[in-house]
Amino acid sequence: MLTAIAGSGMLSFSIALNAVSMHGTCTVVFVVVGAIIAFLVSCVQTLDKISWIGWVGVVSIVSSVITLAVACGVSDRPSAAPQTGPFEVIVKASANPGFVDAINALNIIIFAYAGTPCFFNIVGEMRNVKDYTKSVLVCQSAVTMVYLVIGSVVYHYTGQYIASPALGSAGVLMKKVCYGLAIPGLLVGCIINSHMPAKYSKWNHIHLQW
């Protein structure tokens, strides 16, 4: 699953580069660039040597989504809304989606917490294992709070006009700004999610030798 998430991250990285550069370069080329960078950095053997990039990713993604929320709040109208004339933002607490839309919505929630398989590797390399539970609680509480606050604010101001991915919801200029801020975080996601499954392969090899 982590390998699939890493692949998804590389695609998101390419989308971000396309959004920022507005260049005619094929998306596949940008995916290859992200894959090469992720491969080279994720080959580092231990987490303690690359754990600092996690902070880079956190600052990058959080600054990006906060910028998005503020931009949606001060914007005259969402990017996908009619650019002239009156329009209405419709916000629904519940809806009646079809099967495909319902499964898609459910998958978004599930994959929002898809980093949990990484926890096993992290606890295996912690200096003080007793801090594991506290770290997980703090991490997941902070992540959930960001999801709820940012998601609610953006949806409140964009409603049915919310873009997918949401970073493009506040107009062309802010789309470039938000994706520009998010690029390091997207790349870090690719690296971490490539690094972790490589460890599983290594440990399985060691177990087989025994």
Please state, in angstroms and as integers, the Cα–Cα distance from residue 91 to each residue in 1, 97, 151, 157, following that order: 33, 14, 12, 9
Beta carbons of 7 and 13 less than 8 angstroms apart = no
| Whether residue 60 has pLDDT greater than 90 | yes
Average confidence (pLDDT) over 184-194: 86
Average pLDDT over residues 158-187: 88
- Residue 82 is inside which H or E element, if any? none
Residue 13 near residue 187, CB atoms below 8 Å? yes
Model-wide pTM > 0.85: no
Domain boundaries, given as residue ranges, for the chain: 2-209
pLDDT at 167 over 70: yes
Task: Pick the more confident residue, 203 or 93.
Answer: 93
